[in-house]
Chains A and B, each alone.
Chain A
Amino acid sequence: AQSVTQLDSQVPVFEEAPVELRCNYSSSVSVYLFWYVQYPNQGLQLLLKYLSGSTLVESINGFEAEFNKSQTSFHLRKPSVHISDTAEYFCAVSRGYSGGSNYKLTFGKGTLLTVNP
């Protein structure tokens, strides 16, 4: 079984400031890691994912996350945020490849990022 801890329930920042949203996971098997974003009144959208290979993954809108196996972390960062980044961010984990077909996601409780002018 896997579990995810998002250490901050709310993160307020000013526009153009850097931000880090923290995520730690627990698992007895190899994992795949994800960040999903939920804008107000919208569904969950995949922001970025780590499956294998380079531990640093990037999204098209400037976010990046680094998989750190020794610290069991997958923190999300952005060097300069915009007001439009205001949303709830969810970290999620699934088991890594093992020949089965169920890649159900286990989510953290979410972090509400509020970007103020």
Chain B
Amino acid sequence: DTGVSQNPRHKITKRGQNVTFRCDPISEHNRLYWYRQTLGQGPEFLTYFQNEAQLEKSRLLSDRFSAERPKGSFSTLEIQRTEQGDSAMYLCASSTGQGQETQYFGPGTRLLVL
């Protein structure tokens, strides 16, 4: 069990650029969640995958955001035409997929949009 990993850990970009983040969940975890955390706030749910199927998206996830989980393994979160308001910590979590079980969080990717 190597834990949930996220890459990159930090990303600085200019407004209008596209960015992509990667999350590698714990092996054999079927469920994968993305959250966003801004300064002074708790994490907020963005989207959820059960294996490769994206089953729910938050209203926070505008059309500029897209997430994928090909083959039900790693996941990517892409933000197109970044805005300064996208600056946040993006967190990924995974769980086994058996009822309510612990969500294990990765260290996050901190995005700064200049």
Chain B interface bracket (under 10, 10 to 19, 20 to 34, 35 or more): 20 to 34
**Cα of A96 to Cα of B102 in the assembled complex, Å:** 13
From A45, A102, A110, contact of B105 by CB (8 A): A45
**What's the least CB distance linking A91 to chain B, in Å?**
8
Residues B16-57 near A (CB distance < 8 A): 31, 33, 35, 40-45, 48, 50, 55-56
Asked if B42 contacts A104 (CB within 8 A), the reply is no
What are the interface flags for B52-72 relative to A under an 8 Å C-beta threshold, 1 for contact and 0 otherwise?
Answer: 000110000000000000000
Q: Which residues of B lie under 8 Å from residue A49 when comparing CB positions?
A: 102
In the complex, per-residue mask of B78-89: 1 if CB is within 8 Å of any chain A CB, else 0:
000000000000
A52 to B102: give the CA distance in the assembly, Å.
14
Closest approach, in angstroms, between the C-beta of A4 and any C-beta of chain B? 8
- Is A46 interfacial (CB-CB < 8 Å)? yes
Partner of B48, one of A43, A104, A110: A104
A99 vs chain B, min Cβ distance (A): 10
Decide if B100 is an interface residue (CB 8 Å cutoff). yes
Closest Cβ–Cβ distance, residue B101 to chain A (whole Å):
8
By beta carbon, the residue of chain A nearest B105 is: A44
- In the complex, A43→B102 CA distance in Å? 14
B107 touches A101 (CB 8 A): no
- Give the distance in Å from the alpha carbon of A43 to the alpha carbon of B91 in the complex: 9
User: Are A109 and B42 in contact, with the CB atoms below 8 A?
Assistant: yes
Determine the chain B residues whose CB is within 8 A of the CB of A9 once the complex forms: 40
Q: Report whether A103 and B95 are in contact in the complex, using a CB–CB cutoff of 8 Å.
A: yes
The answer to whether A97 touches B43 (Cβ under 8 A) is no
Chain A nearest CB: distance from B94 CB in Å?
Answer: 12
Kindly state whether residue B103 has any CB partner on chain A within 8 Å: yes
**Chain A: which residue is nearest B43 at the CB level?**
A107
A-B contact pairs, 20 of them (CB 8 A): A43-B91, A43-B105, A43-B106, A43-B108, A46-B102, A49-B102, A90-B42, A94-B100, A96-B100, A102-B50, A103-B31, A103-B100, A104-B33, A105-B35, A106-B45, A107-B42, A107-B44, A109-B42, A110-B41, A110-B42
Beyond A104-B45, A109-B42, list 4 extra A-B contacts (CB 8 Å).
A4-B42, A9-B40, A43-B91, A110-B40
